[in-house]
Amino acid sequence: GQQLNQSPQSMFIQEGEDVSMNCTSSSIFNTWLWYKQDPGEGPVLLIALYKAGELTSNGRLTAQFGITRKDSFLNISASIPSDVGIYFCAGQLNAGGTSYGKLTFGQGTILTVHP
């Protein structure tokens, strides 16, 4: 099946620093998504990317859909303590039939922000 490799596995940063994480796939996706999961909660969508090469921002977050459709990155600028959590990338094929809607998730990046 499709595999997503997300890196780094964890990050420890100071408040105010910028953060970058990325995700690579062995196969193509039509949609890339970035989620954040807080302890005891389900993942919450941060940014969705629908087109190869697309660069999208949501406040301090910026994400890009790689040209090859096999990778994506997420940047967080000027980190704050509430950015703490686990960040997941997810790919969606949207090929129709049984692949429609199914998300394939990366392993997650654990972010710790020191005040």
Partner 1 sequence: EAGVAQSPRYKIIEKRQSVAFWCNPISGHATLYWYQQILGQGPKLLIQFQNNGVVDDSQLPKDRFSAERLKGVDSTLKIQPAKLEDSAVYLCASSSGGRQETQYFGPGTRLLVL
Residues that bind partner 1 (CB under 8 A): 4, 6, 31, 40-45, 48, 50, 88, 90, 94, 98-108
Task: Please name the helix (run of DSSP H) or strand (run of DSSP E) that holds residue 103, with its range, or none.
Answer: strand 103-105
* Smallest distance, partner 1 to C-beta of residue 44, A: 7
* Smallest distance, partner 1 to C-beta of residue 75, A: 20
Backbone angles phi, psi at 81, to 5 degrees: -55, -35
Tell me the β-bridge partners of 45: 35
Rounded to a whole number of angstroms, the distance between the first and last alpha carbons of the chain is 40
State which residue, 40 or 115, has the beta carbon closest to partner 1: 40
* Smallest distance, partner 1 to C-beta of residue 24, A: 14
* Smallest distance, partner 1 to C-beta of residue 94, A: 6
Helices (H), 1-115: none
State which residue, 12 or 14, has the beta carbon closest to partner 1: 12
| b/e code 74-108 from CB counts within 10 Å (16+ = b) | bebeebeeebebbbbbbbbbeeeeeeeeebbebeb
State which residue, 14 or 108, has the beta carbon closest to partner 1: 108
State which residue, 76 or 90, has the beta carbon closest to partner 1: 90
